[in-house]
Chains A and B, each alone.
Chain A
Amino acid sequence: MLKIDHLTKRYGATVAVDDLDFEVKPGVVTGFLGPNGSGKSTTMRVILGLDHPTKGRVTIGGKEYRELKDPLREVGALLDAKAVAPGRTARNHLRALAASNNIKRSRVDEVLEFTGIAAVANKKVAGFSLGMSQRLGIAGALLGDPGVLLFDEPVNGLDPEGIRWIREFFRSLANEGRTVFVSSHLMSEMAVSADQIIVIGRGKFITQGSVDVLTATAKGSVFVRTSDNTKLTSTLRTRHGVVHEINDNGLSVEGLSSDDIGRAAFESGIAILELTPQRASLEEVFMDLTADAVEYGGHAIDKTSDE
């Protein structure tokens, strides 16, 4: 279990992460979602002890990362697939990692085999495509057979087949009871690969929940077409609905459920011709949630040290 405990991280004047506080539970894939520059990578780096928190702490099974003995046996991480010495072969890279954490050498061949890069194990990493590097990074993360796995933007640079492979892979890791924490700036990706989603923006916690709950709580709209749109509009406005006229003589209503609208029409003697709740897509939910928290909006330029 991974616990982020009131974590704040400042780089000079820039607040990259602002009082984040949540838990990531085992057995499910947890998505960590936010626009670019929202502090996802910073959080990942603090979890792994690479950056020092300004305030708060992160614990894995009750211990800080730096207190872990042979940390690769407890936490596997893929932050940046290209962060490998280019002149070394894939096998030597993994052998060195294994040696540092007392992992037996045969495990190197196992993970090379599992990630499908055994054939290029003796080639220098410099010649690897991004996809192959991602696989090598995953091999490194799995080396110690850890209970907690962290992946920062893992689908970047993968081909569709690789993306499908990695989704099934996350699922199987979670099914084995592991804690799987995956960051992404793509809501659509999280919608298919994660069970739980934590949304942040500008370093701040926004919301947390299952994919279904997040879409359900989003403010949806209802499309309605009636015999007398003008009369219904005024009726609904007295009931605090937000009504927009749209094409085909229809109305788009926000703030009222389809039940409310149906009853209002009945009471006013208006015949309903069509009544359709418009469920918000996850993408819209995300845009809506993070609208105030987009670091690189089209309208303003702001500085940040996170990427």
Chain B
Amino acid sequence: MNNEETLLSVTKSEWIKFRTVRSTIMGVIVFAVLTIGLGVLITATIRAHWATADFGRRLTFDPVSTSLAGVLFAQFAVGVIGSLFITSEYSSGAIRTTLTAVPHRLELALAKLLVLVLSMLVVCEVVCIATFLIGQAIFAGVVTPTASLSNGADLRAVLLAGVYLALLAVLGFSLGLILRQSAACISVFVSILLIVPIIMLLLPQSWQNSYEKFEPSNLGTSMMSVTPRADLFGTWSALTVLLVYVVVVFGVGVTMLQHRDA
């Protein structure tokens, strides 16, 4: 049997494991409720106050990223799903059973990565598209301009919102490979997204201007905007930078998985 077949069977096994624990199911529910719920709340509020909104605000209004604003809260749920996919195995000790069944650790990490990326892409795209459509339906007739999936730039922004989330799930998973403890892993994940920007605020203004755009959540904002802010990365550059982050952290995680005792 060749390696592709083995990777396929390990991936099947990890897929069974991924969908048969409650943390995954709960994580997906929390994620969907947060994204859609906050999306509805924000778009409905904007609609209610649109008549009194000032001209400048109307001029720079982005109906796509505004309808997807819930993503910036829901990203934590996605990170937790990714983290727990590996850290829960360490906390229960099940990792030893897993590694006994799959001693080739690179293969195990790749199988888990495949399961996580594919399932989170599907879930996140579905939720983002639904949130977007609900948001536009709420805007309809009152808030202008509205956006549509038939518009290439709008479609790109919505789809990249899903890609952003799936990549954050991988970031959480990769941190989990390194840290192995759920609490530590989730703390670090939250710190990267929330605390680093706060520390950034304490730095000199010139540094802020140069480094702000490297913050993961700003990369996300760029990815899900039709026209990203001038001081941030453009859409594709933002995706590239985020990919570099994820690949580096995943690489470190896999290396540590291969060299440490389980």
Residue numbers of A with Cβ under 8 A of B are 45, 48-52, 65-66, 68-72, 77, 79-80, 82-89, 92, 95-102, 140
Question: CB of B208 within 8 A of chain A?
Answer: no
Question: Are the CB atoms of A96 and B21 closer together than 8 Å?
Answer: no
Asked if A102 and B16 make an inter-chain contact with CB atoms under 8 angstroms apart, the answer reads no
CA of A71 to CA of B6, assembled, Å = 12
Since A87-B23, A96-B13, A98-B13 are in contact, a sample of 5 more A-B pairs with Cβ atoms closer than 8 Å, ordered by chain A residue number, is A45-B262, A49-B99, A72-B101, A85-B88, A88-B17
Please state if B21 and A101 are interface contacts (CB–CB under 8 Å).
no
- Roughly how many angstroms separate A100 CA and B13 CA in the complex, as a whole number? 5
Please list the residues of chain B having a beta carbon within 8 angstroms of any beta carbon in chain A: 1, 6, 9-10, 12-14, 16-17, 20-23, 88-89, 92-97, 99-104, 259, 261-262
> Which secondary structure characterizes the binding site on chain B?
helix
- Within 8 Å by CB of B101, from A45, A88, A100, lies A100
Say whether A100 contacts B103, CB under 8 Å: no
Q: Which residues of the partner chain A approach B16 to less than 8 Å between Cβ atoms?
A: 92, 95-96, 99
Contact (Cβ within 8 A) A50 B99:
yes
Complex Cα spacing A86 to B22, Å: 10
Q: With A45-B261, A84-B92, A85-B88 as given contacts, are A50 and B20 in contact (CB-CB < 8 Å)?
A: no
Q: B20 touching A96 by the CB < 8 A rule?
A: yes
In the complex, what residues of A have CB within 8 A of residue B14's CB?
A: 96, 100
Which B residues are CB-close (under 8 A) to A66? 103-104
Knowing A83-B96, A83-B97, A89-B20 touch, does A99 contact B13 (C-beta < 8 A)?
Answer: yes
Q: Which residues of A contact B259 (CB under 8 A)?
A: 52
- Cβ–Cβ contact A101 & B101, under 8 A: yes
Which residues of chain B are within 8 angstroms of A51 by Cβ–Cβ distance? 261-262
Q: Which residues of A contact B262 (CB under 8 A)?
A: 45, 50-51
Are the CB atoms of A88 and B6 closer together than 8 Å?
no
Report 25 cross-chain contacts, Cβ distance below 8 Å, ordered by A residue: A48-B103, A49-B99, A50-B96, A52-B261, A66-B103, A71-B100, A72-B101, A79-B96, A82-B92, A84-B93, A84-B94, A84-B97, A85-B21, A85-B89, A85-B92, A88-B20, A88-B21, A89-B20, A92-B20, A96-B17, A97-B97, A99-B9, A100-B10, A100-B101, A102-B9
Most A C-beta atoms less than 10 A away, residue of B14, B89, B95, B96: B96
Known: A52-B261, A101-B9. A82 touches B1 (CB 8 A): no
